[in-house]
Amino acid sequence: MLSLVAGQVLNGAIVGSMYGIIALGITLTFGITGIVNFALGEFMMIGAYATFALAERGRLPYPVAVVPAALIAAAAGYVCNKAFFRFTRGNLVNGLLVSIGLISVFESAVLWYWSATPIEMHFVLPGALRLGDVSLPKMKLVVFAVIVVVIALTYAALAGTWLGRASFAYAQNAEAATLMGVHTERLVTAVMLYSTGLAGLGGALYASLYSLEPSLGGVYVLKGMEAAILGGIGSLMGSLWGGVILGVIEAVGSIFLPTAFRDAYGLAVLVAILLFRPAGLFGDES
């Protein structure tokens, strides 16, 4: 039993890091620009299917296919921002309506082109590492390491560069940031490009582990929202930890409780934590 729990903890942490990268995109877009983008899961889906097309159909090596797949998702995010999201800043209802519309459009397009039949890539990195009685696929460990590095580098860039300081200034007072010389339109565009590119990267990594289906984006954006709230909206590293905690709760909970209610375990814990920490585990209470 102990080895089973340990294995589920490790697997949950790895899956949770996938939640974390979506949570990071949500934190960046809402925390900095005030734009609500519930369609981030669809950009993850775009990255996943683009990776499949480039690697399986285009015969590119998987590591090479990941970068253009993320760029394709970022390009889709750029178009959606220019056409829709830039008009919804600070308006939760409009952002929600635009997101729902985009979810329907993207899922319908994938259903039309790829159909609803799940597809999957060939093994990218076969084999597993054994830690005592626990076996972990090598590719899952690589995905976890990549996501941790990406989130850490994002945090370092925002904390230590002029662009990061401009982003935080814009989040606090957009008008004052403009008066101080921050080109706010370019800043919002950059944040949207990066957040949707991150989601695309998450999808590219997802494609190496699991089968792809048009509805995958909807599942992960809900988990990303839970992770972002659990970690604390505005906390970049909290996004990662929120995702990891959520993944571990779901994985360990499925051992002792019915798997049919797997999605409810994390939500129940989230509600319980918010009763005592309304700003999330790593959010600012002030």
pLDDT at 189 over 70: yes
User: What's the confidence (pLDDT) of residue 64?
Assistant: 92
pLDDT at 286 over 60: no
Mean pLDDT of 158-175: 73
Residue type, 106: F
DSSP at 134: E
This prediction's pTM: 0.88
User: What's the confidence (pLDDT) of residue 2?
Assistant: 66
Q: Give the C-alpha separation, 255 to 140, whole Å.
A: 20
Contacts of residue 107, Cβ cutoff 8 Å, sequence gap at least 6? 42, 45, 214, 215, 217, 218
What pLDDT digit, counting tens, does each position of 240-260 carry?
788 888 888 888 777 777 666
Contact yes or no for 202/18 (Cβ under 8 A): yes
Give Rg (Cα) of the chain: 19
DSSP at 38: T
What pLDDT digit, counting tens, does each position of 142-152 carry?
888 898 888 88
Q: Give the C-alpha separation, 29 to 194, whole Å.
A: 9
Domains and CATH numbers, the chain: 2-119+132-276 (1.10.3470)
Q: Give the C-alpha separation, 71 to 149, whole Å.
A: 18
Q: Give the C-alpha separation, 230 to 267, whole Å.
A: 9
pLDDT at 132 over 80: no
Q: Give the C-alpha separation, 60 to 52, whole Å.
A: 10
What pLDDT digit, counting tens, does each position of 28-60 carry?
888 777 787 888 889 999 999 999 999 988 889
137 pLDDT band (50/70/90 cuts)? Answer: confident
Helices (H) then strands (E): counts for the chain: 11, 2
What pLDDT digit, counting tens, does each position of 55-88 carry?
988 889 999 999 999 999 999 999 998 888 888 8
CA 143 to chain centre: 13
